[in-house]
């Protein structure tokens, strides 16, 4: 007998009376019971329990009326599917028990091993049998539209949707990532800007919902509207604007993801020295330890301590451009002079070394050795256009997505190739 099986028998003897304490609960929506219990729906009873923190699966089975030899046989059947490991069960996992009124031992036990999979074991004349059922997802599309009052987070959060707060944050990040080569969500957005998003939505009968790909989005920034249409070329999905030009570019517009700015390019009074002098870059206020990313492919030409910059990294890119990242708390592993870095790669962490009054990133762009306004020096140009052979298909897809957006957020059956 397996060691865990012997322990479960012991639990069964000591905890048999616990089964009387479980209250009947409303069952979760699930598929029709196996053949052993088919046709008994009118008198079928079901109750739901869950695994508490630090609790064994045996204790839950005992409460449900499965103990002793039945528990051993049931768990042997369950573990044979490889979908359940009694030694490694997450707390909160739901277990439901199905029976007829005259049953002393449940006829069916369902383990909700994941949000879309249920392991069912059924008691029959020959013992317990098991199978794993997948809960089908339904997929449609959802339109989210809103207006900027402060930032993109709050704009999507205020939109009238049934998305959870976590899902709304996820959507905000997705939209920011799509437009980050054209719009710096830290600096460029302004009150009155508007957006619409057409996004896939997957749902389970239990109400669990997940977002899929953003199929299309529009963002009106300062009176100019930029479209983003998801289109595949050679099997690789990318986003293109209304003119069929890629939204990607050689440089990111910001070295931090979606953070506010504390000081802009130009003259200012230095917060530490108290003197008025030209500020050579842009300061991004962010929590200490926030990841700092290289805004483009390049090579690290300096990484160390330098006067008022504190810990600083210089990265040389093509076309005579060097980007500088100052006041860092530290450097990412492996980043040193001579290291090649990729666009978006983490190279350091926000800190307040050097002449700094609080944690922030000082970011500079030098073109041929001269400091330039990052906002204009890195202003993204339109990416490469679609191949001519793709244009007609792209135009048809674009019109289709925009028509779906115009349906004012109604759900639409999804059939995208």
Domain of residue 276, CATH code: 2.70.70.10
Contact 340, 299 (CB under 8 A): yes
Residues paired with residue 94 on neighbouring β-strands, in sequence order = 50
Assess if residue 316 is contained within a domain: yes
| C-alpha to C-alpha distances, 356 to 119, 270, 306, 363, nearest whole angstrom | 57, 10, 13, 13
Q: Tell me: do 144 and 130 sit in the same domain.
A: no
Last residue in a domain, options 115, 134, 153? 134
pLDDT at 377 over 90: no
Last residue within a domain, chosen from 89, 106, 134: 134
Q: Is the pLDDT of residue 9 over 60?
A: no
The model's pLDDT over 266-299, given as tens digits with 9 standing for 90+, comes to: 333 333 333 333 446 788 888 888 899 999 999 9
Q: Which domain holds residue 53?
A: 3-134
Report pLDDT digits (tens) over 133-149.
Answer: 998 999 989 999 999 98
Closest alpha carbon to 396 in 408, 386, 411: 386
Whether residue 53 is found in the same domain as residue 11: yes
CA distance 277 to 90: 58
- Quick check: 23 and 47 in contact, CB under 8 A? yes
- Total structural domains within the chain: 3
Q: What is the CA 255 to chain-centroid distance, rounded?
A: 20
Cβ distance 150 to 185 under 8 Å? Answer: no
In angstroms, the CA 183 to CA 178 distance is 9
80 and 10 inside one domain:
yes
Domain of residue 124, CATH code: 3.10.450.350
Going by pLDDT thresholds of 50, 70 and 90, the confidence category of residue 408 is: low
> How many angstroms from the chain centroid is the CA of residue 205?
21
Residues 120 and 106 in one domain: yes
214 and 200 share a domain?
yes
Instruction: Please tell me the distance from the alpha carbon of residue 40 to that of residue 38, in angstroms, as a whole number.
Output: 6
Is 120 within 8 Å of 130 (Cβ atoms)? Answer: yes
Q: Residue 294 falls within a domain, yes or no?
A: yes
Cβ atoms of residues 302 and 314 within 8 Å: yes
Among 237, 239, 232, 235, smallest CA distance to 217 is for 239
The residue from 104, 134, 164 where one domain ends is 134
pTM for the whole structure: 0.62
Tens of pLDDT along 302-343? Answer: 999 999 999 999 999 987 899 999 999 999 999 999 999 999
Question: Is 165 within the bounds of a domain?
Answer: yes
Residue 256 lies in a domain: no
Residues 148 and 244 in one domain: yes
């Amino acid at each position: 007998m397996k060691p865990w099986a012997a322990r479960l028998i012991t639990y069964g003897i000591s905890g048999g009376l616990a089964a009387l304490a479980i209250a009947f609960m409303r069952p979760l929506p699930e598929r029709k019971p196996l053949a052993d219990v088919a046709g008994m729906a009118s008198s079928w009873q079901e109750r739901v329990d869950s695994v508490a923190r630090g609790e064994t699966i045996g204790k839950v089975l005992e409460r449900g009326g499965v103990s002793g030899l039945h528990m051993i046989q049931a768990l042997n059947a369950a573990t044979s599917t490889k979908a359940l490991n009694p030694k490694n069960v997450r707390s909160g996992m739901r277990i439901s028990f199905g029976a007829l009124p005259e049953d002393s031992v449940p006829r069916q036990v369902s383990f909700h091993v994941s949000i879309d999979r249920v392991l069912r074991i059924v008691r029959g004349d020959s013992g317990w049998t098991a199978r794993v059922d997948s809960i089908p997802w339904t997929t449609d599309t959802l339109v989210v539209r809103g207006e900027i009052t402060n930032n993109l987070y709050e704009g999507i959060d205020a939109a009238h949707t049934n998305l959870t707060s976590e899902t709304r944050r996820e959507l905000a990040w997705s939209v920011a990532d799509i437009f980050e080569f054209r719009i710096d969500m830290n600096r460029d957005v302004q009150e009155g800007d508007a957006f619409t998003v057409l996004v896939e939505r997957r749902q389970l009968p239990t109400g669990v919902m997940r977002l899929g790909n953003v199929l299309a989005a529009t963002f009106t920034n300062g009176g100019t509207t930029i479209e983003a249409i998801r289109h595949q070329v050679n099997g690789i999905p990318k986003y293109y604007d209304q003119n069929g030009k890629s939204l990607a570019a050689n440089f990111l517009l910001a070295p931090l993801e979606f953070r506010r700015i504390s000081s802009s390019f130009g003259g200012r009074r230095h917060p530490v020295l108290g003197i008025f002098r030209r500020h050579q870059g842009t300061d991004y206020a962010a929590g200490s330890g926030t990841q700092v990313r290289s805004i483009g492919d390049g090579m690290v030409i300096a990484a160390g301590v330098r006067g008022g910059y504190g810990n600083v990294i210089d990265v040389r890119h093509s076309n005579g451009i060097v980007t500088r990242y100052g006041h860092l708390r530290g450097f990412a592993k492996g980043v040193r002079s001579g290291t090649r870095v990729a666009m978006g790669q983490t190279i350091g962490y926000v800190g307040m070394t050097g002449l700094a009054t609080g944690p922030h990133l000082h970011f500079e762009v030098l073109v041929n050795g001269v400091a330039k306004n990052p906002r204009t020096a890195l202003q993204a140009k339109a990416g490469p256009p679609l191949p001519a052979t793709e244009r007609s298909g792209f135009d048809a897809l674009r019109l289709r997505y925009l028509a779906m957006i115009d349906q004012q957020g109604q759900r639409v059956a999804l059939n995208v190739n």
